[in-house]
DNA sequence: TTCGTAGTTCGCAAAATTACGAACATTAAT
DNA sequence: ATTAATGTTCGTAATTTTGCGAACTACGAA
């Protein structure tokens, strides 16, 4: 008696939304830009680029890590952060596919 | 005596984050996918694709509209929604540029 | 005029996000 | 054993997001 229409979101849409959400804050975009442009990417360097408290920076880094876009490793006494290449490319493909496949039809409003 | 370091985010980073944030929910990704694939795109059709109440759908549509990714026009008694082509392409370029320019260096951790 | 259709807006609640300072953990140097 | 340096975690507060049902608006048809 499953009356409910099965209307869950697809895995792909969930994943793309997760990547997008992680990128949905200027501080996190700035972090990603910075990380991608740097060889050494310590917490302190990142903090220095941003107009926010270190606790907040730490939180943003955690979100990017949870989304899989970056990774961190301890390099005592510092913490070195980097882009996670595999997921970075995965994200790139997700966005590319999204924008490529989703060409608005010529018959649509505009 | 402006002691504050000027550490605001760039316009571009703000804009990319705004697009990303708008895409940061599976319902909104689903909506964008659907709109891009359809010729006719009425509110009711969109609502039908989603597992959420119409009030919530309306809210998501408003957010996409505020971000500039879609537009709506009244076609009494319905409302026809569409991708906003100009901003759609703009968003595409933003994401492309982001992922292209931000290639992680080979000297980085992974 | 009354009714039905199609959406939006309102009011509310629950949860998540953003932000901060203070406290804490870890390790190295004195 | 202290102290300093580097980040993380905790506790808290303010705001935003997500979601719903109910009420509302606008319009056309009966």
A47-73 confidence digits (pLDDT tens): 999 999 999 999 999 999 999 999 999
Is A25 (CB) below 7 Å from strand D?
Answer: no
CA B99 to C1' C28, in angstroms, rounded, equals 39
Please say whether the beta carbons of A22 and A67 come within 8 A.
yes
Q: Within 10 Å of residue B26's Cβ, how many Cβ atoms?
A: 23
Q: Which pLDDT band holds residue B2 (cuts at 50, 70, 90)?
A: very low
Which of B19, B26, B75 to substitute to test the interface with A, most A CBs within 10 Å? Answer: B26
Q: Per CATH, which fold does B11-98 belong to?
A: Arc Repressor Mutant, subunit A (1.10.10)
- What pLDDT does B95 receive? 98
Of the ranges A97-101, B26-30, B35-39, B73-77, the best mean pLDDT one:
B26-30
Least Cα separation, residue B72 to chain A (angstroms): 9
SS3 at position A31: helix
- CATH number for the domain formed by residue range(s) A11-100: 1.10.10.10
Q: Which residue has the higher pLDDT, B33 or A104?
A: B33
Percent of chain B with pLDDT over 70: 85
> Per the CB < 8 Å rule, is B51 touching A8?
yes
Whether B108 shows a pLDDT value over 80: the answer reads no
With CA atoms as reference, report the closest residue to A94 among B46, B81, B20, B39: B20
Q: How far apart are CA A45 and CA A2, in angstroms?
A: 54
Lowest mean pLDDT among A27-31, B7-11, B13-17, B62-66: B7-11
Domain ranges of chain B: 11-98
Q: Find, among A71, A31, A24, A28, the residue nearest to A48 by Cα.
A: A31
Q: Per-residue pLDDT averaged across A86-103, rounded?
A: 92
Q: Are A43 and A57 in contact (CB under 8 A)?
A: yes
CB A102 within 8 A of CB A69: no
Q: B95 vs B100, which has greater pLDDT?
A: B95
């Amino acid at each position: 008696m499953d009356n409910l229409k099965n209307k869950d979101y697809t895995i792909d849409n969930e994943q793309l939304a997760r990547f997008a959400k992680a990128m949905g804050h200027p501080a996190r975009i700035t972090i990603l830009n910075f990380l991608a442009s740097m060889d050494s990417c310590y917490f302190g360097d990142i903090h220095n680029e941003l107009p926010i408290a270190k606790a907040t920076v730490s939180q943003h880094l955690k979100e990017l890590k949870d989304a899989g876009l970056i990774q961190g490793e301890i390099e005592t006494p510092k913490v070195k952060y980097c882009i996670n290449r595999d997921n970075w490319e995965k994200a790139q493909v997700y966005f590319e596919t999204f924008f490529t496949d989703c060409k608005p039809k010529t018959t649509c409003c505009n």
